Structure 1
């Protein structure tokens, strides 16, 4: 009925409208020129219709693509926009804090006291607050986990025996509930505290409660029914406080507790009205005014108003965020949105009305709100990918990082190369004298034999440890074929190729056959090596026949063209090791023996910083290392004779031109004696010697008994050990017996690594780096003997800056307390067997080591570096995947209040997960790759391509027949297991061959018994699956490319004015894409103000234009905390 009425109404309206149109048409036609106008209007409509139709007919898909869809204008006719373009949109995320905020400083003070309490360094038992007196209450923090009534609690827990009431309230910062237990008097409270151990929950603390009139305490809870009465004269006594009040107030108190020694009484009132009335009461006793104040209860007696460790000047903000935002507008305008993650603070100059700016609080991103508040940058960084509305790929910046040149997304990521990873400094050593490259290298190193280094990666477990997949991934092509050739792996007994040019003076490598450790032990013996002067104009050099060791003097070239920046050489199968020492200005090359005459091409690139000019020297080196038996025997004899010499040659060869030396050094110097004088060693009890000295003596005795040392040599080495024991200057690590040593897994490895200071080779590409002097080299220069036969660390690791996003993470009490707490927690977890105690690393370095240990077990033992301090592009999906793989470790990181040693360091963990994670190659992927014609069936040609991938080249007939037989055997089992179809059986194949035509869905094979190798058949053949698993190793899941710090300007800003000016001028002269000014200013010094002024002037010179993220200069934000802003709105 309702529908019919609506329909009738609709028809009525339509009739009315049509009649209106009709009347208007008649009106127009009634005019003098109405008919003419009507005719021309009709013609115009018809012509327009024809024109529109013609346009439609001419408008083709090609024209549409040309104008509107250039991404599909290609031979495939498909859009590759997602591959041709950089990932868009991209957001930027900052973490920011106002270090001078009083509210923040108070919270930091509380965290400090909390850490001191955990370390038992701060135990406050005396209440120093105003009118502070004991209360008849106990607080259980956090809330007691039970809902039992009081009667049942009395029966179960002795703590509640004399309790009169149990209630719950919010704690001081409203982050959790606490349980308040009431008693009749203080004596009952004292008895109850003696039974606090009856509560078995380890996380609950039982605290005595106090009343105070100081309502400003951040840890106090204000009460609405308790009043503190203070200022009572002592002469009147405190026996009956009620008598001090007018008669009308005699019965309004439920309880009064007096403290005569302090002249204070605690008044418990019955109603809220009485509570407010008493507070307004004016009472005078003997001319002295009595004060009334609402009582607060406190159970934390620490005074958080004492903030000398967190003064605002220490954490002063230099407004780097303002200029970093300006750099985005200037050099990265393609950014979509900017998210600023804070603890609720708001910069006073920030324009909150900008639609592309979003303030994000910690509550918005932390899944577990109980972890808040937090002051740990790793905890905050671990949750950045949970920002609501963030792009899939976002760029994370600290506020002290900004852009200095034009930056585009492909500076971080491209589809062809994947993620670009900027690496700088090496990871710290897991233990003293244990660099990362010693871990799982096939040798048991005593300094690495501890839990922090995973017991040398298993090298000291007494078993044949095979290199992990991650370790083998560093081998260059062709290296696997040489692993069993011991002569290729070692240049001398006990000296693996990877020990050469590694910044460590290895005495077993300090022989001619190893190039005297390629400069690691100095140049004293380089006069025995064939020398070549590198001349810019010469293009061909020849090494004398049978010589496999040569060094180039680069002095002239470096003086002319500047320092060496890179070098390349081909014919890697001929080169055992090559390296450049910038310190000594030499390039040393060791060749493999028994190679006929060959030409090696070399390219060395120089850069002159003064002229800002780059030059390249290219030359050919003709070598012939074939040796006759006589020559080889003579060489081996000479080497053996050289190693047996006890006295040390003191003549040092300096490979530089004399005219470049100071005049004072050109004078003749008398040659020192090479005789080692041995004093008489007193009688010493063997048991009195340290273990390391005993081990060395045992080793010397063993060499003496085996004939490797003469009696004189034994006495000399014994004397040197005795001198070491007397001086106690250093401890000598164990020397491994050579017969127990396992083959070194890094035999010919030449991997790009500026820590090892070697000529690095990947296929035909290498880079060269400086080699600083070691302690042993300096000893050689002073004509002192080398004391050690084992490897010794040259220099301790130090980070070039104090890492930390927030100012309190760089230095101060929180860093020191957390480091102590971490050591206390880990004292049983890590046992280090060393004479020296482990050096207390900073928490940043320890967190790097923590992640490095985890990744060593997961991805293999490799040498890793620390990502640069710069903007990082993060994929939130990869970050979520990483945290799902290590949920416990990331949860621990998020729970920390301040930076801790067992944090998952954000950038290091993310990038090395992206580098290390691998995925298996599946049979589906192989079939799709082989099926080049997309027919769904592999042809003979495609099967041959498959064979080249599965077997070694060259292919022979037997190999191809083997693969065909695998398919034929699989077809028999496949056809027998398939009940619905027999296509894969040989008989069905034979029948299909006769019917095969061009375009049919079957293939005709040369072997008539071959089944149709379709996708289903290929995936169900177990032999093929095994072959694929064996031949195709896991590949990296995510593409990536590593890069150096060439486009990164990192400056540590200290309080030295002249140094700061020089640093900032260097950035002006050599602008980089990424600029980081790490604040290490001591704001307590008078020069700090001048440094800040210089910094501000630099920022204004680089980014003078205000961004849209800033308020006009005359405006400031009224609210500096987000909760205040929300309350107002």
Structure 2
């Protein structure tokens, strides 16, 4: 009963509470803004509930992530997703241009004119346009930078002495303003042109102006007040041209200039109305119809309609970008966004509605807009990292680069190895006959003793004496053409003879014609080569006719006689390359083609360490590489002196004279000798030698015993050491001329082919790049025999294909003009003193040399290689850091209109900065690494680990005591209060606190202070030890890779060669494919080559990508500014359309609901009037009550 009563009381209270809430809700809703407040309150409660639930879910996810996430399924229980996975997201950036765009071609023509003006090349002075006559005008291009009136200009510049007017107009392409100066007559113009040098502005050009009736000229500016009258008969004369017109028109001309020799008159009219009337005038003189045409002024007299320099077909787009985008969808679908950087052009097939595709103009990325427009790919590449919204790491591709197999981010970057750098061939030489390995080798090379090679990297520093070479001494690089036979220098496209047998597998050399890189790529394909078993007893071997490749199996000979120590052969004009691989025990010989049957003499020397015996196998090799069966050669034998390369003693060989060879080849050709002559070394007491020479002798003996040095090489080194010892004791004459080398006592560096390339033949030409260093060095070296032999790993011919991103950067007038301009600019900056002058390289190779020169000074002299032509992953933060380090060089690169020699080549500069930049190891890093228990104080065990890093092993007690004393000494000056304490340990125990709190370490040494972080960083002796023991380390991790997954094909106009190249890609697909367009569009085969290319693209990537429009659609606008204008107009039209529709809907609603609105209006006004009346009445009542109360109160007070 009691519970029932309590329950009823509880229900009564709840009903009361609910009714209270209900009354309050009704009260709130009855207010004017009650409904609004209720709605917002409800929304706030719902949002708060969702937010609270989300927070709970996130908290729960973090709490139980170890159970549900595979990335945290580890012993640490933490997620390493950012380290295990490749960097994401990753965007792709393209640079693209439509070379056949008429607007682009017009701008390129003006750039060509600008370069010609800077070069002061002869301009066309004869006007060949229709009715072209001289004008009484002068144009100053660009606009003359002054706002002075004409009177002041006359006083300051003699050019304006006879000027009558100065105006400004837009130039032909509306890109800038030009100044037009008017004169009374042509004679005044001629006198003014003689004073054009009075204008000191270096960027302004003063040009004579002509009138023409040809309004179609792209460089012409149409006038609105000048008319050209042509077709006047000569017999009527030109003195009174006004008389030819009706009397109505005789007073409408302000000026008439006649040219009787051409039957042309120039009419200056006063008003625009008269201008229109005269153009419509029908006038006949002696039965001949007179023509009237609006005049155009022109100051560029080049007829671009007759030139093929910038014809649309020459720069036609092959739509490589379309198929490159298809390759991304097929083989790299993990890409986030695609950015296409253009000069405002839009591909006609591109789907601009794709949310992952973005068109970026040059204005969006260039900080300095005055550099625009630009047609230089290095200038554009230098600003790619400024693309708005680009990922931190992005992949940069040219439009002719695509993917051929599955590609993932770890093909470019991984956390364990860092950036992957794909390298190909070495950089070109800084000067002719000066390979990179000769730079800064401690020996002054005359061919490298020039400013382009930094005076041999300092080896010839201060020695800038120019040798006397007669009239050739003043030649500038490029004026002396040293063209060689490229076919003799390359066994295959992109494979120089010097690349063979260099212990590096070059894919371009891994073909039959190059002997499969003579073993560098292994013996996998050697079954295709003719094999000969080398037998000790056999003296004659014959190679099958027309075969130019053979290899000898040396396995049996090496097993019988020991290792190969030297080899030689004659007939160097027949042998392209010969090398012995001791690893595979084969000798490979590649011969030149088209030689008649010839006998080559070969000698191979073996040495057995076990028997301590030397054996030699001599044999003759009969070859016939003539491809024509009809051609047979007669051989006539003669004896001559043979010069050995690796042998120390001279031998004799038979030189074959070919009767059917051209007469020029039968003439004597002096050859520089590379014979190494070693004089007999007298018996020397070992104890009498200095200590440094003893150490070098011990090192040479060790190398000889380990097989790294042959006996002949050992003798040469011994001889050099003996000569050095004699120089010290006997004051011998200087071996080198003092003007060529700086004085030093270091042993001259020997440049010897390594043991993998033991078989070396003498070099009579530069085909094998075994060029002596200089004439003087050769002559002087006969007293000190050193084999100066090295391979020039890169020649100018390997860059002759003019690598460039845009079509006009590969060949054409812009390349030639810019190269000439670079030569003129650098002529005073660089001086090359050599008989053999440096050949003029293309701008791509010169930009490589420019960056290489800068990096040599910054990071040291090393041999660098050129990055492969492939997609490159770029870190925008590293790129910004690089440009902050060299701001001036990158600003110069961005300012160029076309590719220039002093550009910062994008990929080469980026990757070798990433490779070369280093950072110092700081004391903070060392302490954190040593503090393995994260206590903030180094323990005895951690200090021992530190000692192993600071000192050489094995550690002894004195070394450890030395380190402890360093810490004790530092503790004495660590705190100002240390002098008042009894011991250093008591001081540091009271003032040193670790990161972990008040915890301390107990050391074996009682006086040892607490080595915490603060104390460690402030100890100067520790800082010095760290700087001495820890060398700078690379700032960024990287790993270099070869070109095994890169297919680079130069597409030319040879149909059969193109088909073979494309079939090779089909058979051997690579991850990265580049088809560099080098098609000669003037040939008839060009169309067929383009059709073959398109067929190849369709066979590789037949499926359309999401970045393309359907085949039946094309973009309406091909320029971005046109699209933006149309979008602006469309948005404006859309806004007013929507606004109009809204207004119409509102009016329609008002018209249909007029009665309802009127009733609402009356009701609302009635309520408001009623409420006002009630409020007025209540207020009146209150006032009356107050007044009555006021009247009654005094009465009460009186009473």
Deviation at 1:1039, TM superposition (A): 1.0
User: What's the secondary structure of 1:656's corresponding residue?
Assistant: strand
Moved more, 1103-1112 or 791-800: 791-800
CA contact (8 A) 1:494 1:738 kept: no
1:474 to 1:1091, Cα distance in 2 relative to 1, 3 A:
same
| Cα separation, 2, equivalents of 1:928 and 1:457 | 40
Deviation at 1:417, TM superposition (A): 1.1
CA contact (8 A) 1:774 1:795 kept: no
Moved more, 751-760 or 76-85: 751-760
1:281 to 1:369, Cα distance in 2 relative to 1, 3 A:
farther
User: What's the secondary structure of 1:913's corresponding residue?
Assistant: helix
**TM-score in terms of structure 2 length:** 0.66
User: What's the secondary structure of 1:564's corresponding residue?
Assistant: strand
1:286 to 1:348, Cα distance in 2 relative to 1, 3 A:
same
Write the deviation string for residues 184-223 of structure 1: whole angstroms up to 9, x where unpaired: 3333322222222222222222222222232322222233
CA contact (8 A) 2:326 2:1104 kept: yes
Deviation at 1:320, TM superposition (A): 1.6
| Cα separation, 2, equivalents of 1:1091 and 1:18 | 89
Deviation at 1:424, TM superposition (A): 0.9
| Cα separation, 2, equivalents of 1:965 and 1:246 | 116
Moved more, 697-706 or 239-248: 697-706
1:603 to 1:12, Cα distance in 2 relative to 1, 3 A:
farther
CA contact (8 A) 1:511 1:639 kept: no
Moved more, 24-33 or 797-806: 24-33
Deviation at 1:12, TM superposition (A): 27
Deviation at 1:966, TM superposition (A): 2.2
In structure 2, the residue matched to 1:232 is 232
Deviation at 1:923, TM superposition (A): 1.9
1:820 to 1:35, Cα distance in 2 relative to 1, 3 A:
closer
| Cα separation, 2, equivalents of 1:1045 and 1:814 | 31
Write the deviation string for residues 111-141 of structure 1: whole angstroms up to 9, x where unpaired: 3444344444441122222232222322222
Q: Which of 1065, 1070, 1073 is matched with 1:1072 structurally?
A: 1070
Moved more, 953-962 or 765-774: 765-774
Deviation at 1:852, TM superposition (A): 1.0
1:414 to 1:306, Cα distance in 2 relative to 1, 3 A:
same
User: What's the secondary structure of 1:995's corresponding residue?
Assistant: coil
Matches within 5 A, 1:797-876: 798-799=798-799, 802-876=802-876
1:248 to 1:67, Cα distance in 2 relative to 1, 3 A:
farther
Deviation at 1:1028, TM superposition (A): 1.6
CA contact (8 A) 1:990 1:1008 kept: no
| Cα separation, 2, equivalents of 1:633 and 1:8 | 132
| Cα separation, 1, equivalents of 2:774 and 2:1063 | 33
CA contact (8 A) 2:132 2:210 kept: yes
User: What's the secondary structure of 2:712's corresponding residue?
Assistant: helix
CA contact (8 A) 1:86 1:410 kept: yes
| Cα separation, 1, equivalents of 2:953 and 2:1012 | 25
1:167 to 1:1048, Cα distance in 2 relative to 1, 3 A:
same
CA contact (8 A) 1:780 1:786 kept: no
CA contact (8 A) 2:96 2:341 kept: yes
Q: How many residues align?
A: 1126
| Cα separation, 1, equivalents of 2:632 and 2:1006 | 59
**TM-score in terms of structure 1 length:** 0.69
Moved more, 217-226 or 945-954: 217-226
1:330 to 1:268, Cα distance in 2 relative to 1, 3 A:
same
Deviation at 1:328, TM superposition (A): 0.3
Moved more, 708-717 or 14-23: 708-717
User: What's the secondary structure of 1:292's corresponding residue?
Assistant: strand
Deviation at 1:1053, TM superposition (A): 2.4
CA contact (8 A) 1:521 1:776 kept: no
CA contact (8 A) 1:758 1:769 kept: no
| Cα separation, 2, equivalents of 1:884 and 1:935 | 39
CA contact (8 A) 2:801 2:810 kept: no
Moved more, 993-1002 or 655-664: 655-664
Deviation at 1:940, TM superposition (A): 2.4
| Cα separation, 2, equivalents of 1:317 and 1:729 | 73
1:237 to 1:765, Cα distance in 2 relative to 1, 3 A:
closer
CA contact (8 A) 1:331 1:406 kept: yes
Higher-Rg structure is 2
User: What's the secondary structure of 1:660's corresponding residue?
Assistant: coil
Deviation at 1:618, TM superposition (A): 31
Deviation at 1:50, TM superposition (A): 18
Cα root mean square deviation, aligned? 16.9
User: What's the secondary structure of 1:60's corresponding residue?
Assistant: helix
1:267 to 1:7, Cα distance in 2 relative to 1, 3 A:
farther
User: What's the secondary structure of 1:600's corresponding residue?
Assistant: strand
CA contact (8 A) 1:493 1:508 kept: yes
Moved more, 920-929 or 982-991: 982-991
| Cα separation, 1, equivalents of 2:493 and 2:529 | 20
CA contact (8 A) 1:444 1:736 kept: no
| Cα separation, 1, equivalents of 2:1102 and 2:220 | 47
| Cα separation, 1, equivalents of 2:161 and 2:599 | 95
Moved more, 672-681 or 132-141: 672-681
| Cα separation, 2, equivalents of 1:616 and 1:705 | 21
Write the deviation string for residues 945-989 of structure 1: whole angstroms up to 9, x where unpaired: 222222212222222222222222222223xx6589999982643
Moved more, 857-866 or 240-249: 240-249
Moved more, 208-217 or 999-1008: 999-1008
CA contact (8 A) 2:936 2:994 kept: no
Deviation at 1:283, TM superposition (A): 3.9
CA contact (8 A) 2:870 2:1074 kept: yes
Deviation at 1:418, TM superposition (A): 1.0
| Cα separation, 2, equivalents of 1:284 and 1:257 | 20
CA contact (8 A) 1:323 1:402 kept: yes
CA contact (8 A) 1:843 1:899 kept: yes
1:485 to 1:57, Cα distance in 2 relative to 1, 3 A:
same
Write the deviation string for residues 432-472 of structure 1: whole angstroms up to 9, x where unpaired: 22111111111222222222211111112389999999999
Write the deviation string for residues 686-726 of structure 1: whole angstroms up to 9, x where unpaired: 99999999999999999999999999999999999999999
User: What's the secondary structure of 1:632's corresponding residue?
Assistant: coil
Moved more, 254-263 or 588-597: 588-597
User: What's the secondary structure of 2:649's corresponding residue?
Assistant: coil
CA contact (8 A) 1:489 1:748 kept: no
1:277 to 1:87, Cα distance in 2 relative to 1, 3 A:
farther
5+ residue gaps in structure 1?
A: none
Q: Does 1:751 align with 2:772?
A: no
Deviation at 1:347, TM superposition (A): 2.0
1:1092 to 1:686, Cα distance in 2 relative to 1, 3 A:
farther
| Cα separation, 2, equivalents of 1:962 and 1:434 | 50
Moved more, 909-918 or 718-727: 718-727
1:400 to 1:654, Cα distance in 2 relative to 1, 3 A:
farther
Deviation at 1:530, TM superposition (A): 26
Deviation at 1:569, TM superposition (A): 30
1:882 to 1:824, Cα distance in 2 relative to 1, 3 A:
same
CA contact (8 A) 2:937 2:994 kept: no
User: What's the secondary structure of 1:105's corresponding residue?
Assistant: helix
Deviation at 1:176, TM superposition (A): 2.7
CA contact (8 A) 1:566 1:766 kept: no
In structure 2, the residue matched to 1:919 is 919
Deviation at 1:351, TM superposition (A): 1.6
1:791 to 1:656, Cα distance in 2 relative to 1, 3 A:
same
| Cα separation, 2, equivalents of 1:144 and 1:5 | 106
CA contact (8 A) 1:503 1:772 kept: no
5+ residue gaps in structure 2?
A: 1126-1198
Moved more, 573-582 or 166-175: 573-582
Moved more, 329-338 or 467-476: 467-476
Deviation at 1:602, TM superposition (A): 29
Write the deviation string for residues 866-895 of structure 1: whole angstroms up to 9, x where unpaired: 111111111122122222222222222223
| Cα separation, 2, equivalents of 1:570 and 1:418 | 49
1:980 to 1:102, Cα distance in 2 relative to 1, 3 A:
farther
1:1007 to 1:602, Cα distance in 2 relative to 1, 3 A:
farther
Moved more, 867-876 or 588-597: 588-597
Matches within 5 A, 1:125-204: 125-204=125-204
Deviation at 1:369, TM superposition (A): 3.1
Write the deviation string for residues 753-812 of structure 1: whole angstroms up to 9, x where unpaired: 999979999999999999999999999999999998898999876249542222232233
User: What's the secondary structure of 1:265's corresponding residue?
Assistant: strand
1:410 to 1:662, Cα distance in 2 relative to 1, 3 A:
farther
Moved more, 546-555 or 831-840: 546-555
Deviation at 1:375, TM superposition (A): 2.5
CA contact (8 A) 2:644 2:762 kept: no
User: What's the secondary structure of 2:979's corresponding residue?
Assistant: coil
| Cα separation, 2, equivalents of 1:788 and 1:343 | 51
1:472 to 1:1039, Cα distance in 2 relative to 1, 3 A:
farther
User: What's the secondary structure of 2:652's corresponding residue?
Assistant: coil
Moved more, 260-269 or 928-937: 260-269
